[in-house]
Amino acid sequence: MLNKIIGFSVKNKLIIGLFVLALIGWGAFEVTRLPIDAVPDITDNQVQVITVSPSLGAPDVERLITFPVEQACSNIPGLKQIRSFSRFGLSLVTIVFSDETDVYWARQQISERLQQVQQEIPAGVGAPAMAPVTTGLGEIYQYVVRPLPGYEGKYGPMELRTLQDWVVRRQLLGTPGVADVSSFGGQLKQYEIAVKPGQLKANNIAIADVFDALEKNNQNTGGAYIEKGPTVLYIRSEGLTKSIADIEKIVVKNLDNGMPVLIRDVATVQLGAATRYGAMCFNDKGEVAGAVVMMLKGENSSAVIKRVKEKVADIQKSLPEGVVIEPFLDRTKMVNNAIKTVETNLIEGALIVVFVLVFFLGNLRAGLIVSSVIPLSMLFAVILMNKFGVGGNLMSLGAIDFGLIVDGTVIVVEAILHRFSHSRHFRNTRMVDQTIMDAEVNASTGTMIKSAVFSQIIILIVYIPILSLQGIEGKMFKPMAFTVAFAILGAFLLSVTYVPMMSALFLSKKISHKPSLADRIMIWLERKYQPALTRMMQFPKAMIAGTLVLFAIAMVMLGRMGGEFIPELEEGDFAVETRLLTGSNLNTTIQATQQCAAILLKKFPEVEKVVTKIGSAEIPTDPMPLEASDMMVILKDKKDWTSARSFDELSEKMSSELAVVPGVSVGFQFPVQMRFNELMTGARQDVVCKIFGEDLDSLAHYANRLG
C-alpha cells in the first residue's frame, strides 16, 4: 500500500505540491496560536482554602478552623492529599486532587462543604474562602508601586497601598486571563478611632459604648419618593460619615448634666493602618506597596502578560505624578531566555544536520531536500500540538533532535542516490529523463520504505514509556514525547509523499560517475573499514569477551552514579529566602532585610534591583510569618556578570557577604522553582524530612535532633 502512495506521489507532483503549501500555511497560522511558556506547569491540581482570623492564636486556629475544614473536605472524590497550616491569624488548607479531576468541579465541591463548615466555626472567628484558580506558574507579573525620587515624602506606604488597591488593582482585574491581583505591603488605610482609656474612665464610658455609638451613626437611608407636580422626587438621606470631622462629632453618651460626650472627647480620630502581617521594600529605599498578578490556570502566559503590560501602561497614565508602577519579576524574561535557548538549539541543530547531510550525500540538492523536511515536519507537529493541547516550552521544543526525525528520510534519499551512482543499470548513462527518474525513485523508495517505516515505528515505540510517566516528570516530559511523536509522524508522511516527489523533480538528472568529495571520503573510509572488519572477524571470542567486559564496567559505573531528579533550570534571578529569629516583629525584619539589600546592591554590580517581600500578602497563598521574607534579587544578563561565572558561584559569594548581618539566615533558590517546591510539597527545600506525631513538643525535640 505504501508503494501505491509513493507511486501516486511521484506521478502527481502538483497535488502533493499543493498539499505541502497548505501545510505551510496552516502550520504558520498555528504557530502564532501556540501557547509558549518557559517550563511546563508541573504543579498538581490543587485548591487552597484560606481563612484569615486576625485575633486567634495558632492552637485555636487549628482547632476551630483548620480541623473542621480538613474534616469536611476529606471525603471529596479524586482527593489525593490534604495539607494544612495553622498560624496566628491564618489558616491555610491545601487540598490536592488527582490530575484528571476538573479543578472547577472540585472547587464546587469544596464550596458546598465550606458552607456547612461555616456553621461549625464560631461566629466572628473567620470565614473560609477559596484562593484564586492559579498554579505555581501563575505568578506571571509582579510589580511595585513606588514613589519616584523626590516624592518619597508625599507618598508614604499608606498612600501607595491605597493607590495600589483602588487604582491599579481595580483596573488590572478586568484583564482576561488574570485570576487575581494580590496586594502586598504598604499600609492598609483605616479610619482609626484611638480611644483614650483615661478619658473613658473619667466619663464612665466603656469601649462598647463607643462602638455602639459609631455603629449607630453611620448610615444612609431612603424615603422612597414624593410627587412634586408632574415629576417625582426621590428622597434620600446622607448619614454616612465622610470624613474625620464627621466622626469626631458623633455623640457617645449623654451625661447626667445634659452635656453630650463626643467621640473627640474620648478618642483621637486619625488615619491609621490595619495591623499588618506583611510588608514590601524596594532596594534599600524603604517600604513601598506592590502586588502579584496571578494568571488563571491553563492560560497562555505570553498572551496574558502582553495584555497585562498594555494595561499597566494605561494605568500608569491615571496615576498621580511621582508614582510609578515598576515590574520586578516578569515571566517574559524567563520565557525569552528559555525560548532563546530553544531557538538556538533548533537553528544550530538544523544547520548542523543540513551540513552533515550535504556532506555525506555529496549532493547539495539531496541534502536540501532532506533538510526541507525539518521545518515541514515541525509545522505538522505544531498543528497537532495545538489540536491536542500540548504547550510549547523548553521541554517540548528544546529536546527535539532533527537528526532523529529525518532518519527515515535520510535512508530513503540515500538509497535513491546510491542506486544511481553505484547500480549497474546506470553505469553507462549520463542523463536520464523524467520518466526514468520517476520510475527509479519509485523503485528505490519502495525497497527502503520498509526499513524506514520500521525505524520510525521503533523510535515512536521508545518514546511510549515516556507517555506513561505521571506526576511531575510526566508533566515535564510528556509534551516532549508528544512533540517528537508528532514530528516523526509528519516526517513519515512527508517521506512517502513529498520526498519522492521532490527527488524525482529536483534531483539532478545528470548522473555523474565521477566520485565527489564525499564519495571519495566514503571510499577512503570503506578502505579502512573493510580490512579492520575482516581482522576483527577472526577473533570472535575476543571481541565478544571484550564487549561483555565493557558492558560489565558500564553497569558498575551506572550503579555508582548518583541520581538526580531533574536538573535545575536557571531562571535568571534569585529568590533568597531570608529568616530571622522566631517572633521577630515586622520592623526588625524590615531593618535587617534592608541591610541585606544594601549590601547586595553595593557589592554586586550584577544586581539590578532587590525587592523584599516580608510576611504574607493580602491573599496569603504563601503565608510567611513576620520573621520570614523573600528577597527577589533581579540580576542582569549572565554575560554582563563580573563577580562570578555561574549561579552557584554567585549565590555562594552573596551568602558569605550577607553573613555579616546578625541573626539572619539565607537560602538561595530560583523563584519559580521555589514556588513549585512549596506548592507541591508544602516546603521550599529540595529535600524535606517530615516527622509525623501527636505532641508538638516531642515533634520539636525530634526535629532538632534530626537537624
Partner 1 sequence: MIKTVDGAINLYVETVTGMPQVVINYNRDAMAQYGLNVSDINRVVNTAFAGQSTGLVYEGEKRFDMVVRLANDERRNLSDVRGLLIPTRQGIQIPLEQVASVEEIEGPNQVQREDTRRRIIVGFNVAGRDVQTIVTELQQKVAAQLKLPPAYHVVYGGAFENLTAAKQRLSIVVPIALFMIFMLLYFAFNSVKQGLLIYTAIPLSAIGGILALWVRDMPFSISAGVGFIALFGVAVLNGILLVSEFNRLKKEGWQDVRRVVLHGTKTKLRAVLMTALVPSLGFIPMAVSNGAGAEVQKPLATVVIGGLIISTMLTLFVLPVFYILFEKGFKFFKPVKVAAAAVLLLALPAALQAQQKVTADEAVALALKNNLHIQAAKLGEQYYQSLRKSNLDFDKTNVGVEYGKINSVANDNRFTISQGIQFPTVYKHQRSINNTNITLSKLSTQQQENELKAQVKAAFYAVLVLQQKEQLLLEADSIYQAFLDKTALRFKTGDVDALEKATAENQRWQISNQLGLLKTDYAVRLNDLKILLNVADPVTPVGSDPVYHLSEIPDTGYIARTPAMALRQQLLERSIQEHKLEKSRLLPSLNLGYNNMSIIGYQRVGNDEKYFGGGDRFSSVSAGIGIPIFSIGQRSRIRAANIFIQQQERELAATRQQLELELGNAAKIYTHHLQLLGNYQSVLLSNATLVIAGANKRMAAGEIGYLEWVMLINQALEMRSNYFNVVEELNNAAFTMEKLSGLN
> Rule CB under 8 A: which of 571-590 touch partner 1?
571-572, 579, 582-583
Residues 599-638 that bind partner 1 (CB under 8 A): 625
Q: Does 656 bind partner 1 (CB under 8 A)?
A: no
- The whole-angstrom separation of Cα 432 and Cα 439 is 11
Enter the DSSP assignment of 424: G
Displacement of CA 495 from its chain's centroid (Å) = 37
Q: How far is the CB of 560 from partner 1 (least distance, A)?
A: 9
Residue whose CB is less far from partner 1, 455 or 593: 455
CB of 598 to partner 1, least distance (A): 22
What amino acid is encoded at 155 in this protein?
Y
Rank residues 16 and 250 by Cβ distance to partner 1 and give the closer one: 250
Give least dist CB 285 to partner 1, A: 25
Q: Minimum Å distance from CB 627 to partner 1?
A: 9
Give least dist CB 242 to partner 1, A: 7
Contact by Cβ (8 Å): 283, 597 = yes
Q: Using the rule CB under 8 A, is 255 a contact of partner 1? A: no
Residue 560 burial by Cβ neighbours in a 10 Å radius (0-12, 13-18, 19+): exposed
Binding of residue 415 to partner 1 (CB under 8 A): yes
Verify binding: residue 196, partner 1, rule CB under 8 A. yes
For residues 645 and 635, give the distance between their C-alpha atoms in angstroms, rounded to a whole number. Answer: 13
| Residue 193 found at the interface with partner 1 (CB under 8 A) | yes
Site for partner 1 in 535-574 (CB under 8 A): 536-544, 547, 550-551, 553-554, 557-558, 561-572
* Interface with partner 1 (CB under 8 A), residue from 530, 587, 605, 660: 530
Contact assessment for residue 323 and residue 166, using Cβ atoms and an 8 Å cutoff: no
Kindly give the residue spans of alpha helices, DSSP state H, lying in 569-665: 586-603, 647-658
182 by DSSP, 3-state: which? strand
Q: Which is nearer to partner 1, 506 or 702 (CB)?
A: 702
Beta strands in 390-430 (DSSP E): none
Q: How far is the CB of 3 from partner 1 (least distance, A)?
A: 17
Of 129 and 194, the one with the shorter C-beta distance to partner 1 is 194
Q: Which three cell numbers stand for residue 110?
A: 469544596
Q: What span, in angstroms and rounded, lies between the C-alpha atoms of 181 and 178?
A: 8
Let me know: does 175 contact 314? Beta carbons within 8 Å. Answer: no
Q: Is 658 in the site for partner 1 (CB under 8 A)?
A: no
- Pair 284, 611: CB distance under 8 Å: no
Stretch that binds partner 1, among 8-16, 147-155, 284-292, 410-418 (CB under 8 A): 410-418
By CB under 8 A, tell whether 517 contacts partner 1: no
User: Which residue in the set 247, 358, 416, 485 belongs to the binding site for partner 1 (CB under 8 A)?
Assistant: 247
| C-alpha separations of 620 from 51, 109, 226, 260, 627 in Å | 9, 22, 49, 44, 15
Q: Which of residues 42-101 bind partner 1 (CB under 8 A)?
A: 54-55, 57-59, 61-62, 66, 70-71, 74, 81-88
Nearest 5°: the CA angle 586, 590, 595 is 150
Residue that the C-alpha cell 508601586 belongs to? 145
C-alpha distances (whole Å) from 573 to each of 88, 204, 607 are 32, 60, 9
Residues 93-152 that bind partner 1 (CB under 8 A): none
Strands 129-130 and 189-195: unpaired
Selected range binding partner 1 among 110-118, 317-325, 379-387, 409-417, rule: CB under 8 A = 409-417
Q: Should residue 368 be labelled a site residue for partner 1 when binding is judged by CB under 8 A?
A: no
Task: Confirm if 214 and 250 have CB atoms less than 8 A apart.
Answer: yes
- Among the listed ranges 171-179, 304-312, 437-445, 662-670, the one in contact with partner 1 (CB under 8 A) is 662-670
| Residue found by looking up cell 464627621 in the block | 246
Q: Does 687 bind partner 1 (CB under 8 A)?
A: yes
**Which of helix, strand or coil describes residue 133?**
coil
Positions 284 through 323 that interact with partner 1 (CB under 8 A): none
Nearer to partner 1, 273 or 296 (CB): 273
Work out how close the CB of 226 gets to partner 1 at its nearest, in angstroms, rounded to a whole number: 26
Q: Is 281 in the site for partner 1 (CB under 8 A)?
A: no
Please tell me whether residue 376 adopts helix, strand or coil conformation: helix
In whole angstroms, the minimum distance from the beta carbon of 232 to partner 1 comes to 26
Residues 626, 615 contacting (CB under 8 angstroms): yes
What ranges in 217-330 are assigned the alpha helix state H?
244-248, 263-266, 301-318
Nearest to 217 by CA among 190, 237, 195, 194: 237
Fill in the DSSP letter of residue 431. B
Give the separation between CA 578 and CA 614, rounded to whole angstroms: 9
Least CB distance to partner 1 at residue 424 (A): 13
Identity of the residue numbered 308: V
Task: Identify residue 47 by its one-letter amino acid code.
Answer: V
If the CB atoms of residues 54 and 77 are measured against partner 1, the closer one turns out to be 54
Of residues 215-244, which lie at the interface with partner 1 (CB under 8 A)?
Answer: 215, 218, 240-243
Binding to partner 1 by residue 426, rule CB under 8 A? Answer: no
451 binds partner 1 (CB under 8 A): yes
Binding to partner 1 in span 339-358, by CB under 8 A:
340-342, 344-345, 348-350, 352-353, 356-357
Contact call for residues 110 and 14 (beta carbons, < 8 A)? no
395 binds partner 1 (CB under 8 A): yes
CB of 359 to partner 1, least distance (A): 9
The length of the chain in residues reads 707
Q: Which stretch binds partner 1 (CB under 8 A): 135-143, 289-297, 338-346, 592-600?
A: 338-346
Chain CA centroid to CA 526, Å: 52
Q: What's the min distance (Å) between Cβ of 90 and partner 1?
A: 9
| Binds partner 1 by CB under 8 A, chosen from 166, 225, 388, 524 | 166
Of 455-514, binders to partner 1 (CB under 8 A) are 455, 457-459, 461-466, 468-473, 476-477, 480
Q: Cell for 576?
A: 533568597
Whole-angstrom distance, CA of residue 541 vs CA of residue 539:
6
CB of residue 83 vs partner 1: minimum separation in angstroms? 5
Task: Please report whether residue 648 would count as binding partner 1 according to CB under 8 A.
Answer: yes
Nearest-approach distance from CB 355 to partner 1, in angstroms: 8
